Amino acid sequence: MSKRPHTILVVGATGSVGRFVVAEALKQGYATRALVRNLDKAKTLPEGALAVVGDLTDAATLDRALAGTDAVVFTHGSNSTEEQAEAVDYGAVRSVLTALGDRSVRVALMTAIGMTKRDSIYNKENHGRDWKRRGERLLRASGLEYTIVRPAAFDYNAPDAHKLVMRQGEHPSNGGVAREQIARVLVDALSNDAARHKTFELLDTTGEEQADLTPLFAALQPDEPAAADAPGDSENLPLSDEPQRVLDDLKRLTDYE
């Protein structure tokens, strides 16, 4: 049984999912830190959360936020240009891994459903899915304990759909899941051995939410050691075609050679 983390840093803490993660982490009894760009952003945080200032795209600003932290939850995201997708969706993962150095933490990373559908409208707009996928690859190869959650559309679940579904492989990129439930899955994964080294899509279906998520985590196939992608992912973004700066990051931060 893995040791339960004590102190969690939430990246993207004031965002539409991050604020629910902060609340869920506090509810579950964790010492909870919220990474914010400035203290004005901290005004919206739940009572009990500790705001720490840092720039998620600049590793040099993250030392104070990470000091004494033994878990990180990523809920950040960008919806603008490709430059911002690289700087934020990918850059946040790179920056945190860089700042951590050889320290070991448990990580839960939120990306998005349809991660390998490169011809989707969501990816064509700014290649955001590609950059999130590269962030996943950095984390998989980092040697850290992790869980990667790819949620469906936020709050697009039907009023009677609260039963969580975790799936792997290629599926239509539709469906929805409540933000509070995404937060619960991310926080629960930090202390559940059955969630280790697993990547999955998350959505809701008709029914009541499960009290125990262990059977759902346990039914998933773990990522292959040192694999770039998750089980069932299309091999349509080969490492040989990656930009040199991404390959340099993989070589510097991970076990890739």
Q: What is the pLDDT of residue 257?
A: 42
Arithmetic mean of pLDDT, 81-100: 94
Residue 111 predicted with pLDDT over 50: yes
Q: What is the pLDDT of residue 226?
A: 81
Q: For residue 17, give the CATH number of its domain.
A: 3.40.50.720
Report if residue 19 sits inside a domain.
yes
Residue pair 32/22 in contact (Cβ under 8 Å)? The answer is yes
Q: In this structure, what token pair is assigned to residue 135? A: 């962030």
Tell me the three state secondary structure of residue 9.
strand
Report if residue 2 sits inside a domain.
no
Report pLDDT digits (tens) over 115-147: 888 887 777 787 878 999 999 999 999 999 999
Of 16 and 123, more confident:
16
* Structural domain of 67: 7-253
Cβ-proximal residues to 8 (8 Å cutoff; 6+ apart), any chain: 25, 30, 31, 32, 33, 69, 71, 72, 73, 187, 190
Q: What is the pLDDT of residue 123?
A: 74
Give the whole-angstrom CA distance, residue 77 versus residue 64: 22
Report if residue 78 sits inside a domain.
yes
Q: How many domains does the chain have?
A: 1
Give the whole-angstrom CA distance, residue 186 versus residue 71: 11
Burial of 222 (0-12, 13-18, 19+ CB in 10 A): middle
Report if residue 1 sits inside a domain.
no
Percent of the chain predicted with pLDDT > 90: 76
Residue 55 predicted with pLDDT over 80: yes
